[in-house]
């Protein structure tokens, strides 16, 4: 029986002379550029300065990349420190492996530094960046496609992803078609971005509540997508570690969304208290 499927990319690295150009890195960079551009538009619409966004991004992005890599290495140490492994590869970010919650948490520390230097409130900036951040995640997920990683279980659905033999699970080397979980999460992230724009305009969510909605909505999608994945992961009480992290983060986000005062204690020095229609 012949199945329709999504083909894997023929390559994920192009060499420009001695310099390797990696699709994974290009996807992350594209996400950062799009998120920065959109956040600038939203921040200016709130009465802020576009340069605020550049300054905060210059702090948040390096912190976020380091945090994302740390989370990945800490939660999957056997990939780098088990017998026969190469610990130096823990530094090879270009090979893939960034944990979103480490990126968001440590990236927020960098954003806080940038916000304080510009004299703006972190919660105001977080609300402005939320749609762009999740859209950046949607773009970044395509890096997993080029690396042929983080796919789901075997499937014969028309949109199944063909994985090359070198990248298939050791337990099922004869099976080539798998759930394209990178695509599921990318589409989910786009839907979350649309939700944030609508909810931000409809309910005037502010004071960090729009960012909390982003976190809650993203974790819902991450939960069911995580259940499809077959890549090695540490489990506790029958669930992957990322599932437990998502559960804790989801509950914290919902609590913040419900309990947080919707009105800012004081207007940001750069952004006005009035929130216009979401750009």
**What is residue 230's predicted lDDT score, i.e. its pLDDT?**
84
Residue 205 has pLDDT above 70, yes or no: yes
DSSP 3-state assignment of 122?
Answer: helix
Query: Do residues 152 and 228 lie in contact, with contact meaning Cβ atoms separated by under 8 Å?
Result: yes
Q: pTM for this structure? A: 0.90
Residue 279 covered by a domain: no
Residue 135 covered by a domain: yes
How does residue 273 score in pLDDT terms, banded at 50, 70 and 90? very low
- For residue 107, what are the contacts with CB-CB under 8 A and spacing of at least 6? 60, 61, 63, 64, 67, 68
CA dihedral 182, 185, 186, 187 (to 10 degrees): 130
**What is residue 276's predicted lDDT score, i.e. its pLDDT?**
55
**What is residue 2's predicted lDDT score, i.e. its pLDDT?**
57
Three-class DSSP labels, 44-101: HHCCCCHHHHHHHHHHHHHHHHHHHHHHHHHHCCHHHHCCCCCHHHHHCHHHCCCCHH
Determine the average pLDDT of the residues in 84-107.
Answer: 89
How does residue 23 score in pLDDT terms, banded at 50, 70 and 90? very high
Residue 271 has pLDDT above 70, yes or no: no
Determine the average pLDDT of the residues in 91-107.
Answer: 89
Residue 35 has pLDDT above 80, yes or no: yes
Question: Which has the higher per-residue pLDDT, 99 or 135?
Answer: 135
Residue 274 has pLDDT above 70, yes or no: no
77 to each of 74, 83, 90, 101, 263, how far by Cα in Å?
5, 11, 9, 17, 43
**What is residue 267's predicted lDDT score, i.e. its pLDDT?**
41
Residue 212 covered by a domain: yes
**What is residue 240's predicted lDDT score, i.e. its pLDDT?**
85
Split into its structural domains, the chain has a count of 1
Residue 49 has pLDDT above 50, yes or no: yes
Residue 268 covered by a domain: no
Residue 232 covered by a domain: yes
Residue 97 has pLDDT above 90, yes or no: no
Residue 182 has pLDDT above 80, yes or no: yes
Highest mean pLDDT among 36-40, 169-173, 204-208, 240-244 belongs to: 36-40
User: What six digits make up the tokens of 133?
Assistant: 């951040």
Mind giving me the DSSP string for 127-159?
HHHHHHHHHHHHHHTHHHHHHT-S-BSB--STT
How does residue 95 score in pLDDT terms, banded at 50, 70 and 90? confident
Determine the average pLDDT of the residues in 42-69.
Answer: 97
Residue 270 covered by a domain: no
Determine the average pLDDT of the residues in 37-54.
Answer: 97
**H or E, element range at 16:** strand 13-16
Per-residue pLDDT tens digits for 216-244: 999 999 999 988 988 877 778 788 888 88
**What is residue 206's predicted lDDT score, i.e. its pLDDT?**
92
Residue 4 covered by a domain: no
Residue 263 has pLDDT above 70, yes or no: no
Round the average pLDDT of the chain to a whole number and report it.
91
CA 275/CA 200 separation, integer angstroms = 9
Residue 93 covered by a domain: yes
Domain that holds residue 166: 13-259
**What is residue 171's predicted lDDT score, i.e. its pLDDT?**
80
């Amino acid at each position: 029986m012949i199945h329709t499927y999504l083909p894997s990319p023929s390559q994920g690295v192009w060499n420009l002379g001695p310099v390797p150009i990696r699709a994974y890195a290009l996807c992350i960079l594209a996400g950062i550029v799009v998120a920065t551009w959109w956040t600038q538009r939203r921040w200016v619409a709130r009465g802020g300065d576009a340069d605020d966004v550049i300054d905060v991004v210059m702090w948040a992005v390096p912190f976020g990349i380091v945090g994302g890599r740390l989370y990945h290495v800490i939660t999957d140490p056997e990939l780098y420190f088990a017998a026969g492994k190469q610990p130096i590869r823990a530094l090879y970010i270009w090979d893939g492996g960034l944990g979103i919650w480490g990126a968001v948490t440590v990236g927020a520390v960098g954003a806080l530094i940038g916000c304080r230097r510009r004299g703006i409130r972190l919660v105001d900036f977080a609300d402005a960046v939320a749609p762009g951040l999740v859209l950046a995640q949607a773009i970044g997920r395509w890096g997993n496609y080029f690396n042929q990683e983080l796919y789901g279980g075997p499937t014969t659905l028309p949109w199944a992803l063909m994985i090359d033999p070198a990248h298939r699970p050791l337990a099922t080397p004869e099976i080539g078609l798998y759930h394209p979980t990178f695509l599921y999460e990318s589409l989910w992230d786009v839907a979350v971005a649309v939700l944030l724009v609508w909810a931000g305009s409809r309910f005037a969510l502010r004071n960090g509540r729009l960012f909390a909605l982003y976190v809650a909505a993203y974790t819902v999608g991450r939960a069911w997508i995580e259940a499809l994945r077959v890549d090695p992961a540490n489990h506790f009480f029958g669930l992957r570690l990322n599932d437990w992290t998502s559960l804790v983060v989801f509950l914290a986000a919902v609590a913040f969304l419900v309990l947080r005062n919707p009105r800012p204690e004081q207007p940001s020095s750069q952004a006005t208290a009035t929130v216009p229609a979401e750009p």
